[in-house]
Chains A and B, each alone.
Chain A
């Protein structure tokens, strides 16, 4: 787990894991505890309004729980077994339907050890086995003892290294593009005994707190308040009661003054909302990025961060498909950026995007980038056709119309919404100004965004499919979009260049494709390409 630790092969552990293994007994406690909140919420209305019939219901539920849920948890535990052979991990599970799953070791990309608060208190950890083939986690062991989890990872790595030496070129660690093989020759047969480690990025506490200040989020507040609503409803209390409880005593004069003037009330509300959003931002980031470390080991990027829940991630460098530099206007104003990696294959929670550097100055990102993929964002990106402003404005306008027309039908004053049109024009212009593209040194740069700004940094050799597309309207205006498809891109956020003058678009696509072909050309004198 610690980057300083070398994965030495523990033979006695390997021998032990070759027999059937049970999960940690504390799993039982955790499963029961985990099932309790659901039970609590089911029972909550009965706890609150305590009439006699309701108490019977409650007793019934508890009896049901005792009779079915608890034995089920125990049975699940008893029926779960796993073991590791030199070729695969086998997991048997299921009470009513037996599932026997074997995961070939050479397909395993990553073993993630996850520890949230409760497992940490009980000295256990959750082990997730991720493979290249599927987007989801292939196998989960929840929970095993923490040191056990470490050993599982080591044993698998050791076996994988053996597989590696037996058949180079067939294991994940050794898979490269076959063309690159031709250039670089077969990979070295034996893995180095002590892997090289290089710390790329760490975040000190002040930096984390600062990053939280830039993360202004009202989402969490909304979640907290809606959760509160539910609890209050169950307790037969209204939000006003809580508000009164908050403002009694010292705050009274302020609330009265605020109530006297609507303007003051408005200002205070906005101020309070901003303050809350700001504080939650800091708290959320502190929890998420506490002790953030990013290091390089064996051509794999490792990440570890978190306060209550420590999360870890490993990304083989050759799995990185694109880099994304993100920022919002406030961050840009002070020169802060965030680096994300688009990767292929796993980490479903982030849809293929992983935060490599949550919050850093541009120079810091550029300094560590060569370890991942060297890039230099050109100062001047090529702008697209100004026709984009017009098309974007029309699109926004139509969306506004679609919202306004039905409401104006019932309520005339809704037509005042048309006053938003200048704002839409402003947004369209911003969209256009932020949009730009360039192809330089075999890397495609695309910048997009209205307020949030994304810069995609896509190595041409990672491109999958090339497109140009022009809708009827685009064709009439003589523009076209250039779309490139990469592995692991999101559904809504993907690199594309919209509204380029048709001839320029065709030319650019040709240049892009020629660069792609040149990368894979048989003589391949491009030694500089990693």
Chain B
């Protein structure tokens, strides 16, 4: 089984931190508006502080845990994925079921030279299976390798 590229941890951490920052800002705004409200129950900053703590805790731990439980392997006939902290999912994508493949990269991933492989099948719930955290060249190589198996399969 192959792990993801460790750089993905940083990408996830930054994304999570940005998400939490938005929440903290919203809560902070609420706190400031409550500042001169005589009937407020909590002293100023408690709510914001709690949210900051929760944000810090999850930002520092979650990406690492997520990374630890992510692994994949390309077998001769199938792509095998294992992932999930809360819901541990093991997926077998038979290569012959792949309709088409995308390699994508967002701004953040680009600065770390990462990319993700998106595998489209005709299935309903898993019509696209995403394999994140690959080196961009690696993602392209995987795509080309898998591409041979794409058939004009009628479903």
Residue positions of A touching B, CB distance < 8 A: 132, 172, 175-178, 318-319, 321, 344-345, 352, 462, 464-472, 475, 483, 485-491, 494, 509, 513, 516-517, 520
Contact = CB atoms under 8 A, between A and B. Distances in A.
B106 interface: no
B124 A487 contact: yes
B90 A465 contact: no
Given A470-B88, A494-B124, A178 B151 contact: yes
Nearest to A488: B124
B111 to A, nearest CB: 32
A475 B124 contact: no
6 contacts: A172-B154, A352-B124, A469-B89, A470-B88, A487-B155, A488-B155
B145 to A, nearest CB: 19
Interface stretch (B8-16, B17-25, B49-57, B93-101): B93-101
Given A175-B154, A517-B77, A467 B122 contact: no
B61 interface: no
B92 interface: yes
Contact of A318 (B78, B86, B88, B154): B154
Contact of A466 (B91, B96, B122, B151): B91
B91 A472 contact: no
Nearest to A176: B154
A211 to B, nearest CB: 29
A464 B92 contact: no
A149 B96 CA distance: 39
A360 B121 CA distance: 35
A321 B78 CA distance: 21
B87 interface: yes
Contact of A469 (B88, B97, B152): B88
B126 interface: yes
Contacts of A509: 92
B153 interface: yes
A319 B122 CA distance: 12
B148 to A, nearest CB: 13
Contacts of B122: 344, 464, 487
Interface of B: 77-78, 84, 86-94, 96-97, 121-126, 129, 151-155
A486 B123 contact: yes
B89 A485 contact: no
B99 to A, nearest CB: 10
A469 B87 CA distance: 6
Given A470-B88, A485-B121, A465 B126 contact: yes
A355 B132 CA distance: 40
A464 B86 contact: no
B92 A475 contact: no
Contacts of B123: 464-465, 485-487, 489
Given A172-B154, A465-B97, A494-B125, 20 more contacts: A132-B154, A175-B152, A175-B154, A176-B154, A177-B154, A178-B153, A319-B155, A466-B94, A469-B84, A469-B89, A472-B86, A485-B121, A486-B124, A487-B122, A488-B124, A489-B125, A491-B124, A513-B94, A516-B94, A520-B96
B126 A467 contact: yes
A464 B152 contact: no
B22 to A, nearest CB: 27
Contacts of B93: 465
A456 B48 CA distance: 51
- Most B-side CB within 10 Å, residue of A177, A465, A471: A465
A467 B91 contact: yes
A319 B154 CA distance: 8
Contacts of A471: 86-88
Which residue of A464, A483, A516 has the most chain B CB atoms within 10 A of its CB atom?
Answer: A464
Contacts of A494: 124-125
Contacts of B91: 465-467
Contacts of B89: 467-469
B152 A470 contact: no
A335 to B, nearest CB: 32
Contacts of B87: 469-472
Contacts of B154: 132, 172, 175-177, 318-319
Nearest to B121: A464
